[in-house]
């Protein structure tokens, strides 16, 4: 049983997946920082100087208007839609960057496929057979 687990855990696909998850987590932290520290302050400045992360709607009468989100959550139920906006922008940026990376890989793959290579042996053999048959008739 231990040998079977070892074969499974060290299989190429599992290791590749683990590496992908680790790189994805690191990439997620970079994008989260880019969104939180660079993009959202610019968007917030364009929207009147406010930070989206503090946008909320009070769902309880005990929440006083003008409180910071953390204080409002302590006071009662709130609908924190600003955080949702931030996370949505974060997702859009991640999806767009991944789209660009996939486009780059597809272009590189097309260039490799476009390179004329040596014709396969089976294709050469079939060409010779075709030529012999053409001479016979």
CATH code (residue 21): 1.10.1200.120
The mean pLDDT values, 10 residues at a time, for the chain of 137 residues are 77 77 86 79 74 82 85 89 83 81 86 70 88 85
For the chain, the average pLDDT equals 82
Do residues 78 and 56 touch, judged by C-beta distance below 8 A?
A: yes
Range of the domain at 56: 2-136
For 41-74, how does the pLDDT look when each residue is reduced to its tens digit (9 = 90+)?
Answer: 787 778 776 667 788 888 888 888 888 888 888 9
Which DSSP string do the residues of 72-132 spell out, in sequence order? Answer: HHHHS-EE-HHHHHHHHHHHHHHHHHHHHHHHHHHHHHHHHHHS--PPPHHHHHHHHHHHH
Q: Whole-angstrom Cα distance, residue 113 to residue 116?
A: 8
What domain count does the chain have? 1
pTM assigned to the model: 0.52
């Amino acid at each position: 049983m231990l040998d079977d687990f070892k074969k499974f855990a060290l299989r190429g696909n599992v290791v590749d997946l683990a590496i992908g998850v680790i790189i994805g987590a690191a990439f997620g932290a970079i994008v989260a920082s880019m969104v939180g520290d660079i993009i959202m302050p610019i968007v917030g400045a364009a929207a009147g100087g406010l930070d989206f992360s503090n946008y909320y709607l009070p769902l309880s009468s005990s929440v006083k208007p003008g409180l910071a989100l953390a204080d409002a959550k302590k006071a009662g139920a709130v609908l924190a839609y600003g955080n949702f906006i931030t996370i949505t922008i974060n997702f859009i940026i991640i999806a767009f960057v991944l789209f660009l990376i996939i486009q780059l890989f597809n272009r590189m793959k097309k260039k490799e496929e476009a390179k004329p290579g040596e014709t396969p042996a089976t294709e050469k053999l079939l060409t010779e057979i075709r030529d012999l048959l053409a001479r016979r008739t």
